[in-house]
Amino acid sequence: MKSDVEELMPRLLPVESCDTEEYNSTEPPRNPQEYLRQVQREASLCPDVVVAQIDPKKLKKQSVNVSITGCLAAPQGFSPSLKWQQQQVSKFSEVRQSVNKHSQHWKSQFLDDNVVMPKMEDEDGWKRFCLGENVCLDIQLKEDDNVNPGLDYIKTGFPPFLSIVSKLNQSTISAVLEYLINWFEERDFVPQLGRWLYALLACLEKPLLPEAHSLIRQLARRCSAVRANLMMNVCQLLT
């Protein structure tokens, strides 16, 4: 009787049934037929499913090295000091640990009725959810709106509260990151974008998938391009 594996994966090299009196599995194969029989016998002794024993603590110690190839150098006077960079790395590490510590609690909490998160594949819906209709539709705010904008998150975008981001799985986090970074490629930076990018990056779990590495490199290149144009923008303001 054929096994379930043989039913799903038919043999590419059929082998005739062996005669136990002529074939001794303890001796080296004498011809191709005996070699194939030995391979089949060894395969039949292997379990259908094997589970790797992975220590989660080792995964949390993964170091991430992102190539800066393609990033533009900072103009003179716009490069942050090493001390400042170390402070940002330390602060980001603290935020990641805090998110990991409290995410389980907030994941079990119910969201307000006005918070309706889009489906993962709804790119336009996530842009409006994170950035707001005013940004996505390029709506110019009136002077009164700037003075007292209120809390209309539909227009201004929902902040990345922990009660919201804790409910996103890793696939959704990567997808939303991609949507926002692609939006940033063609448009100027806005505060809502910065808040969401920081929050989503803090929610990425290790080990990082290749897609996450690619998104971080793409974001670094775009940020370096924006920084490279800062000197030009300053000169335009002074003239």
Ordered mean pLDDT values, 10 residues apiece, the chain (239 residues): 53 60 71 82 83 71 64 86 94 94 87 90 96 87 54 90 94 96 95 96 91 93 90 63
Residue 68 confidence (pLDDT): 66
Structure tokens, 138: 């390029």
Query: Shortest CA distance to 177 belongs to which of 151, 198, 159?
Result: 198
Sign of the dihedral through C-alpha 158, 163, 167, 171? positive
Q: What is the structure's pLDDT at 205? A: 92
CA 62 to CA 55: how far, in whole Å?
12
Pair 115, 168: CB distance under 8 Å:
no
| Predicted local confidence at residue 165, as pLDDT | 94
pLDDT at 75: 85
pLDDT of amino acid 1: 44
Q: Of 119, 215, 106, which Cα lies nearest the Cα of 165?
A: 106
User: Is 65 exposed, middle or buried, given 0-12, 13-18 or 19+ CB atoms closer than 10 A?
Assistant: exposed
Q: Which of the 8 DSSP states describes residue 103?
A: H
d(CA 87, CA 92): 9
Between vectors from CA 48 to CA 44 and to CA 49, what angle results, nearest 5°? Answer: 150
